[in-house]
Structure formats: structure tokens, C-alpha cells
Amino acid sequence: MGAGKTTLGHRLAERLDRPFVDVDELVAAEAGRPIAALFAERGEAEFRALEAAATVAELESPTPAVVALGGGGVETEAVRRALAERAVTVWLDVDADTAWERARGTERPLARDEEDFRARHARRHPLYAAVADAVARDDDDAVLAAAGVHVETGALERLADLVPGDAPAALVADARVSGVHGAAAQLALGARLATTHELPVGEAAKTLDACRALWDELRLGRDGVLVALGGGCTTDAAGFAAATYLRGIDWVPVPTTLVGQVDAAIGGKTALNLPAGKNLLGAFHWPARVVVDPALLETLPAEERRAGLSEIVKTGLLAGEPLWELPEPELVRRCAAYKAAVCLRDPLDRGERAILNLGHTFAHALEAAAGYEEVSHGHAVALGLLGALRLSGLDEEPVRRLLDPRPVRVDAERAWEALRRDKKAAGGRVRLVLLERPGVPVWPAEVPEDDVRRALGELIAG
């Protein structure tokens, strides 16, 4: 009681575009009585029976929903079992003093005697801890829990516990990341570590040859889990390998770059590149969990940090908030939650999720024209954002000030052909993500071809 389940539940349901169900309201509606009257007329034992029946029925519904449980629901074994089998359970952990201040003086039948209230709080506390999949202080935390994203400074040290299950794990990284974080990851996985594997550095990991070599090396069973330690290229390639090995095994990305932590590792997209374009071969394969440790960014080279900043500016423009001004751990959490919410609303990229490609249509074209070697992803995204803001008729200042993008030398015709082959194109027409204003993305935005080509040309050095 007094934890804020209903308030946060409404916000979470809106962010995930799912129905909201308050179990107390459901029980009251079915009984035709307010909760206080039910307690008075039938007693707590009968109320708990009605509550448990309503909770289990709701959890067994095939329609995904955000459900606010009654504070005492976890005291019933049937409810605890249904939560374990059917739900991602998020605990709003508030201390007894705060809960009492919020609940006293209300019509809640169990909030009239302070001593009894505190005794209930103490009795329920270990039950909440036992059923919870995550602890949340706000709706961003709850969104991350719903998406299976765990953000915690120092999380790498708890990797064996955070990788779901107890099956053997194969650790995949590139040589550079292995040299920095590989030993710590192996130590953290402990007895669960079965094998280690190496991918090439950067975009070279996202090729059929690299993926074929990884497939050949893997010796996991269907219950095994692939742990991908590294940046977006490593998680993209390793995730695709996991999606296709034995028709799909569990995987857990542990992103070590800013791009990976706020974007690439979240949402279940895995992909390889083809000569004709970026990410043209891929699969949707949601991770069993994403383990995000902001402490890993302390060793990040400046160039990689700039690449991540491009994705942060993109997210801030989409959200309509200057997220780039936040301290780094909070910045990571907020950006990851924004992307997670969009992906949960559109898990297979059939609609709204396309907004996350703001600036990326131009960026991917520039990268393809450079053969994925001479133009970094971060620099390409910065230029792409500049092009998108120009076509939107909006102020370019945040991109120029924070990212300082400079035109790149690539073949203009090759870039244009790559842009026209972009996976978001339809019927031969280029479709872009633009902004009506910060916080209000426009998709699909079909712009005259001459304007798109002119905008692309302005991103290419003469």
C-alpha cells in the first residue's frame, strides 16, 4: 500500500501501449462493492480469495497488459505461482515510513492501525523480494524491466547471476574488447563458461564469413546461451548467430560501448551486412536479457564515445529532451528506456519503431558508399541527423554544437544507390524519418527525390 503502483502503472501502460488493470478495481467491480465494504461484509480471507482468482485470471489472459496487484496479493501461493509463470514482476520498493504516510487517513481497510500496518509491511517484504524480477523507482526502470534490460554500475561482476538460467554459456567478443574486459567477464561467468570465441573488430564482424566461423566453433546445446561482449557490431553479429544456430538459442548482449548501451543491444534486431547495403541480412531475436554496465564506458576511446553521442542526440531529438545533459549513468538509463519502450510497442518493426532510424537512412548510405571502412557509424549518424533536420526545417544547432559533423569523401552515386535500396524504402520511393518539432517525429515522410538527393549531396565533400 502506498507504493504508487496505480500511478506508475497508468504511465507504464501508456508508454507500452497496453491496457492497464488495477486488481483492486477489478475485484470491486466484480463484487459490486468498494474494497472497504467487501472487507467489512466478508472479511479479509474471502477478499483474498476473490483477489487471487481475479489476479490469476488476468495473468492468464492472452492479451499483454500492465497489472497493478493488490498489496497483499503475493501472500497467496496461487498468485506467486502465476507471477513466476506468466509475468515480468516489478517491485516498487518503498520503506514503511513512506508507505504509512501515503496510506494513512485513506479508506484502505488495512491502513487504520499503524502498528498492524508496519507488521504487514515487514511480513510482505521478503515475499516481494522473492517474486520480483526487477526493482523500479520510476516508469523508466519499469520499461527496462519489461524489455529485459538490466542497467547497473558494476553489473559485469554479477554476470553469472544476471544471465538467466543455469545452462552453459559461450562468450563471444572481439580481440580488442577481450583484452580490456574479457578476463573480468570470464571470471564473472565462472563455472557457467563453456567456451570463448573471437569475432573480427568492427564491421568486419558483420559478414557471412565471420558468422560462419562462429557457427562452426559453437558447441552449445539448445539450452545453452551465447553471451556477446562488445560494441554494436559484435552484438549484431553474435545475436544473428544465436538466432540461427540450432534454429535459435538464448543470447545475452553485454554492450561495452555507448552506442551499444543506449541503442544497438536493445530491441532484438540482429544483422549482417551485404555488399549492397548495411543490415540487409538479419533476424528479430530478442535477448533473454541485456546487461548494461555503465562502468564499462570508463575505458571507451574518444572516437567510440563520439559515436555514442550521435545516438544520444538522436534519442534526445525524438524524445524532445536534452538527454545529453544528464550524468552518464542516468543518460544511459534514460536513453535505453526510451528505445526499449518504442521496441516493446512495435517489436517487429512494422510501424512506429521506424522513428528510431532518424538520420540513419542517410548514415547507412554514406557507410555503404565508404565500404563500411572509411566512415565511422557515429560520424555517419551525425551527418544523417544534420540532413534530417535540414529537410525538417528545424534548427541544426544541437547537432552542430555537440557532434560537429563534417562532410565525408565518398562516391555520391554509390551513396545514392545505397540510399534507394534502404530497407525502409517502399515501392521504389525513399521514406525518411523527419521531425515536426523535437519530440514529434514524422514517419513515413516522403520527400521529393530531388530534395533528398540534394540533402545527401550536402553531406558529401566535393
49: enclosing H helix or E strand: helix 35-59
Helix H, strand E, coil C: the string for 222-269 is CCCEEEEEECHHHHHHHHHHHHHHHHCCEEEEEECCHHHHHHHCCCCE
What is the tens place of the pLDDT at every residue in 76-127? Answer: 999 999 999 999 999 999 999 999 999 888 888 888 899 999 999 999 999 9
pLDDT category at 372 given cuts 50, 70, 90 is confident
290: β partners: 149
pLDDT category at 360 given cuts 50, 70, 90 is very high
Give residue 108's pLDDT: 84
pLDDT category at 376 given cuts 50, 70, 90 is confident
Give residue 89's pLDDT: 96
Q: Is the pLDDT of residue 252 over 80?
A: yes
Q: Is the pLDDT of residue 206 over 70?
A: yes
Whole-number Å distance between alpha carbons of 336 and 66 = 20
What is the tens place of the pLDDT at every residue in 118-168? Answer: 999 999 999 999 999 999 999 999 999 999 999 999 999 999 999 999 999
Q: Is the pLDDT of residue 428 over 80?
A: no
How is residue 248 written as a grid cell? 535459435
pLDDT category at 424 given cuts 50, 70, 90 is low
- Please give the single-letter amino acid code of residue 196: T
pLDDT category at 198 given cuts 50, 70, 90 is very high
> Where do the domains of the chain lie, and which CATH numbers do they carry?
5-144 (3.40.50.300), 149-300 (3.40.50.1970), 352-457 (1.20.1090.10)
Q: Is residue 185 a contact partner of residue 212, using CB atoms and an 8 Å limit? A: no
- Please give the single-letter amino acid code of residue 172: V
